[in-house]
Structure 1
Amino acid sequence: MAGVQQAPTTVRHLLARRDFRRLLATRLTSQFGDGVFQAALAGTVLFNPQRAADPIDVAAGFAVLLLPYSLVGPFAGVWLDRWSRRQVLLVANLVRAVLVVLVGGLVLAGVQGACFYVAGLAVFSVNRFILSALSAGLPHVTDEPSLVSANALSTTSGAIASVVGGGAAIGVTALGGSGNAGYAALAVAAALPYVTSSAVVSGFPRPYLGPDHLTRTARASARDVLEGMLAGARHVLQHAPAASALGVMSVHRVFYGLLTLMTLLLYRNTFTEQGGRFFPGGLTGLGEVLALGAAGTLLAAVVTPWAVRRIGKAWWITAMLAVGGVGQLALGSLFTPWSIVLAGFALGFVAQAVKICVDTTLQESVDDDFRGRVFSVYDTLFNVTFVAALLAAAFWLPPSGRSLPALVVVGVGYLLTAAVFARWCLRRQRRASDVLHPAEVLHADAPAPPAEEPGVRRRTSDAGRDLTQPRT
């Protein structure tokens, strides 16, 4: 029996498309700049000898920079479904280039407090706007069978570009020295890749990246935003895979936030003289954690499409949550530089594998006209859960960062989430099976179901309907 030939989903197939390469280049240049800018901020706040920081200061800084995006997010979602996404990417990157120059000036002047954080907030708000537009536009440059591979390649290479940018910035700092002048120069340097990203995306025709049904007016009242977000929320809730995927990602980000602050404190206050040549402390050691985390994301990009084709997205997410729990319990609890580096590798693998599956599930489950709003809600949850975990950890973790109870909470939490999600998967499969095989519950004296007609086979849709198609 001849089967239906599936579209190829290899990296070579994706890169053969010029439009995909252009959107990928837009992401890579943009996220390289993110890495440079984030390294400049991390150095300024955490490792600058002219400044001091404690857990609450660090968490408060993240909260000021990321939480207000929760207010921007709903408007961003509506705008992404009303404006040309190509124009969003073009203009927003130029705006970021101007903003990072402003931040660099504030760092050079030694400005701290509200003014500094507000400037950083503006950069991060535009950044999340851009990432939402990139995700919402991706289905326009690839075919549906290739979405898992496209997400794996795009998000993973983007994360690696960010780490490469951060590593380059750390290397420049090691050569040129730290202090306000050095970190200010790094912040300003991030403007160049942002401008480059804007130039790359300008090669798309204006309507190319959607939305499919473009609303010509860009005005959005508060009522428009509220109604739009409620419609987007209802749209997600009507699609169980999308809603469950968002739930899993939110829980994962809570654990990720706690581990992030723990790692920062360990390298800021504990791993100062440990590890020696191969596993140093300070900003260089933190760079090693980021580099191994990037290696984990790269491996996840290679393995995830293969795994999803064999066991499906839901079961791969379940497996990754279990790996996250075991990995953090086995490695993180040792609290040595080499074990934290390996734990970073495991966490990078798990985080990217889960994100690829969640991104793809949302892209497959929601209509294009809702995609901008859904991905903005996604990004808002991404930030809120992360910052909530940071704030809780700031009051829980000691200044050294060493806390075995916190590691146990994270490890057991991952395992419990995996168990709950696995049960949801089994119940969903069982309900689908009950719909598909009602004959199994017939009484023994009931007439047998009619025999299948020759040349006809039964196929099941995702909704559980019994469909028939001629054999080919």
Structure 2
Amino acid sequence: MNAVKRGLALILKKPDFRNLMSAQLLAQAGDGIVQTALAKFIVFGGQEGFDLEGARDPQELLRIALYLFVPYTILSPFLGVVIDRWDRRRLLWLANGLRAVVILLIGLVTIDRLPDFVVFLAFLLTLTSTRIVLATKAAAIPATVGETDLVDANAVSQLGGALFQLGGAGVAFVAAEYVEPDPIAIAGALVYGIGAIFALKIRHAGEARAKLTFGQELGRVVGNIADGLREVGRTPKAGAAITTYFWLRLLWSFSIVSIGFVARELLGNEEMTILVITGGAGAIGAVLGFVLAPRLVERVKTTGTLVLGASLVAGAAIMVFGAIEMNVALAIMTFWLGFGFFLAKITLDSMVQEALGDDFRGRAFSLYDIAYNLAWVIAAGGLKVFYSPDIQGLLIAAMGAVFLVGVAGIAAWYRNAGLLSAVAPRSVR
């Protein structure tokens, strides 16, 4: 409960952090509402919507991953420069406000009267805008809470975001039983709009920026991308954190989809039971990671030690339980995967925020986005090549073993870079 109290204290005592969280959480709640409303109109590979974790076979997973992630991977480095060089308040306002207008117009026109490609583009707009909001939020958190409360702030952001998106989707799912999708989409647009208003209430989201127009900043974008890559490259803490995130995300992407394949084979069409195993158990593990993260940071010698420990927990669970095709084994595996991934992710965000100055954080978190995209595409490609129902359990366990070998290499990098000897930051009470 101490973690919850500290998170609430940050929200109550730090107005800029409160407004930043409001902009983020409402963006993700709006996503849950709007994407649920649009999903039934997007039929892809036999399923409604673009749910990577709900993909029913490797070929479908790869197609979805390529459609979703290749375009944003191309744009991401440019957006990272914009986050660093432009007013972050205005960027958050624009990301939420633009899609609020677009989704509102779509809802007023009525979704079923629009061409499929328009609905698809609207769906991609919601995804891309949220990625911009999340990267901007991550870059702005240190300016809103200071350097001493980063772990608590990141924990609030990540758990709150997951809960608000799930809550928005749940509300939309229930509402869809009683009303048409159009008013649901309009409600989501209004939620986006309120998030945009909160973004404008943030007083300080980073250092003062040069008085350049958006067009002028775009003209300098290539040089700024190169500067960002060089800065991350010569800052071992940032480079190691982003690499670790990629490796963890690869484990998550490969494992959670594979667990879904096994669960569907065991349970057939019992979708609610499958959701409990693949989503519920992981969510409980993630909440435990949120509760324990601030306390564990105080007990370890370095944040790097905590990241490696959390990674070992996630990888060991996949390796040990991966080959056991039983419901309880799947639930245990998903629980520890959620716990290890979430605990490590909170700490990794803090490492990047501590390692880099305010003028480079946007580009660093755009590299996070690229790592996220590549992990999903590589996981989907690997499953497309190697997956077979006859060896699916062994394949999951093998992924856990490969992941642990990679963690050993990352640990050597941490040790050589001095990330296991520096004192971990302590939160100020």
TM-score normalised by the shorter chain: which range applies?
0.7 to 0.9
Bigger Rg, structure 1 or 2: 1
Question: Which amino acid in 1 is paired with 2:197?
Answer: A
What pairs up with 1:67-106 in 2 under 5 angstroms? 67-100=70-103
**Is the CA contact (8 Å cut-off) linking 1:85 and 1:211 kept in structure 2?**
no
What pairs up with 1:36-435 in 2 under 5 angstroms? 36-40=33-37, 45=43, 47-48=47-48, 54-100=57-103, 108=112, 116-172=119-175, 175=177, 187-205=185-203, 208-220=204-216, 224-266=220-262, 271-273=267-269, 281-282=270-271, 285-286=274-275, 289-311=278-300, 312-398=302-388, 403-429=392-418
What's the TM-score, normalizing by structure 1? 0.76
- The 1:334/1:42 distance shift into structure 2, 3 A limit, reads farther
Give me the whole-angstrom Cα distance separating, in 1, the residues matched to 2:105 and 2:385. Answer: 32
For structure 2, the 5+ residue unaligned runs are: 50-54, 425-429
Superposed displacement of residue 13, structure 1 = 4.0
Superposed displacement of residue 282, structure 1 = 2.1
- The 1:18/1:53 distance shift into structure 2, 3 A limit, reads same
More deviation, 211-220/317-326: 211-220
Give me the whole-angstrom Cα distance separating, in 1, the residues matched to 2:18 and 2:396. Answer: 40
Superposed displacement of residue 86, structure 1 = 0.9
**Is the CA contact (8 Å cut-off) linking 2:320 and 2:397 kept in structure 1?**
no
- SS for the counterpart of 1:204 is coil
Give me the whole-angstrom Cα distance separating, in 2, the residues matched to 1:192 and 1:263. Answer: 36
- The 1:335/1:94 distance shift into structure 2, 3 A limit, reads farther
Superposed displacement of residue 196, structure 1 = 2.1
Question: Which amino acid in 2 is paired with 1:204?
Answer: I
CA RMSD of superposed structures (Å): 3.3
Paired residue for 2:22, among 11, 15, 25?
Answer: 25
Give me the whole-angstrom Cα distance separating, in 2, the residues matched to 1:269 and 1:106. Answer: 38
**Is the CA contact (8 Å cut-off) linking 1:157 and 1:298 kept in structure 2?**
no
More deviation, 237-246/156-165: 156-165
Give me the whole-angstrom Cα distance separating, in 2, the residues matched to 1:42 and 1:296. Answer: 28
- The 1:17/1:425 distance shift into structure 2, 3 A limit, reads same
Superposed displacement of residue 186, structure 1 = 5.2
| Matched residues, number | 409
Question: Which amino acid in 2 is paired with 1:36?
Answer: I
String of CA shifts for 1:329-385, please: whole Å, max 9, x gaps.
334433344433333322222221111111111111111111212211221222222
**Is the CA contact (8 Å cut-off) linking 1:102 and 1:119 kept in structure 2?**
no
- The 1:267/1:19 distance shift into structure 2, 3 A limit, reads same
Question: Which amino acid in 1 is paired with 2:153?
Answer: A
- The 1:168/1:461 distance shift into structure 2, 3 A limit, reads closer
Give me the whole-angstrom Cα distance separating, in 2, the residues matched to 1:183 and 1:284. Answer: 26
For structure 1, the 5+ residue unaligned runs are: 1-8, 274-280, 433-459, 463-472
Question: Which amino acid in 2 is paired with 1:413?
Answer: V
**Is the CA contact (8 Å cut-off) linking 1:263 and 1:401 kept in structure 2?**
no
Superposed displacement of residue 415, structure 1 = 1.5
Give me the whole-angstrom Cα distance separating, in 2, the residues matched to 1:97 and 1:90. Answer: 10
Q: Is 1:35 matched up with 2:38?
A: no
Superposed displacement of residue 234, structure 1 = 0.7
String of CA shifts for 1:169-191, please: whole Å, max 9, x gaps.
44445x45xxxx96666555432
- The 1:25/1:119 distance shift into structure 2, 3 A limit, reads closer
- The 1:394/1:261 distance shift into structure 2, 3 A limit, reads farther
Superposed displacement of residue 121, structure 1 = 2.3
**Is the CA contact (8 Å cut-off) linking 2:233 and 2:239 kept in structure 1?**
yes
**Is the CA contact (8 Å cut-off) linking 1:90 and 1:201 kept in structure 2?**
yes
Give me the whole-angstrom Cα distance separating, in 1, the residues matched to 2:115 and 2:402. Answer: 40
Give me the whole-angstrom Cα distance separating, in 2, the residues matched to 1:229 and 1:25. Answer: 29
Give me the whole-angstrom Cα distance separating, in 2, the residues matched to 1:331 and 1:288. Answer: 14
Could you say which residue in structure 2 is the equivalent of 1:445?
none
Superposed displacement of residue 39, structure 1 = 4.4
What's the TM-score, normalizing by structure 2? 0.83
Superposed displacement of residue 215, structure 1 = 3.8
**Is the CA contact (8 Å cut-off) linking 1:261 and 1:394 kept in structure 2?**
no
Superposed displacement of residue 217, structure 1 = 2.1
- The 1:115/1:56 distance shift into structure 2, 3 A limit, reads farther
String of CA shifts for 1:1-50, please: whole Å, max 9, x gaps.
xxxxxxxx93354232222222222222221222334445666546549x
